[in-house]
């Protein structure tokens, strides 16, 4: 079964660019986080509710491959989907394109471990696994 893919549109702000008008590389990780949060919301899961239960999705790895620049004023689309859901960890994948184009600007993934307030790994609750599977 193919994973559910959620898309989020973001207009590139001036503050996200360097003096050449090209998006600064670290902002793609911020956009990954926006995509991930919006993906979870689209599946009925507000991250604040997870935190209220004393659980947190700690990023343990982030990877980006940059293929073409995004520029100030463009609208980009972040496609997000869960690639793996394990006992206490999960991985999201991302693809960034310009709105209306198929050309990939950046793609990557983030890996997370579910932890508690004491930073101890915890098993992903079944209700969360069901939303991500």
User: Residue 14: is it exposed, middle or buried by C-beta count within 10 angstroms (0-12/13-18/19+)?
Assistant: exposed
Alpha carbon distance 74, 91 (integer Å): 28
- Residue 53 has, within 13 A of its CA and on its CB side, a CA count of 16
Parallel, antiparallel, or unpaired for β 75-85 and 6-11? Answer: antiparallel
Is 18 annotated as catalytic?
yes
Place of tokens 């993906």: 39
The answer to whether the CB of 76 falls within 8 A of the CB of 113 is no
Give counts: helices (H), strands (E), the chain.
3, 5
Residues known to be catalytic: 18
């Amino acid at each position: 079964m193919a994973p559910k893919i959620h898309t989020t549109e973001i207009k590139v702000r001036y503050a996200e660019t360097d003096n050449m008008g090209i998006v600064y590389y670290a902002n793609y990780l911020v956009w990954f986080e926006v995509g991930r949060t919006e993906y979870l919301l689209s599946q009925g899961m507000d991250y604040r509710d997870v935190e209220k239960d004393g659980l947190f999705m700690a990023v343990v790895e982030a990877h980006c491959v940059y293929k073409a620049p995004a520029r100030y004023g463009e609208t980009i689309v972040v496609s997000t989907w869960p690639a793996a859901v394990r006992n206490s960890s999960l991985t999201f994948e991302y693809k960034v394109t310009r709105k209306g184009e198929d050309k990939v600007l950046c793609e990557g993934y983030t890996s997370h471990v579910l932890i508690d307030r004491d930073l101890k790994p915890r098993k992903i609750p079944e209700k969360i696994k069901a939303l991500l599977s």
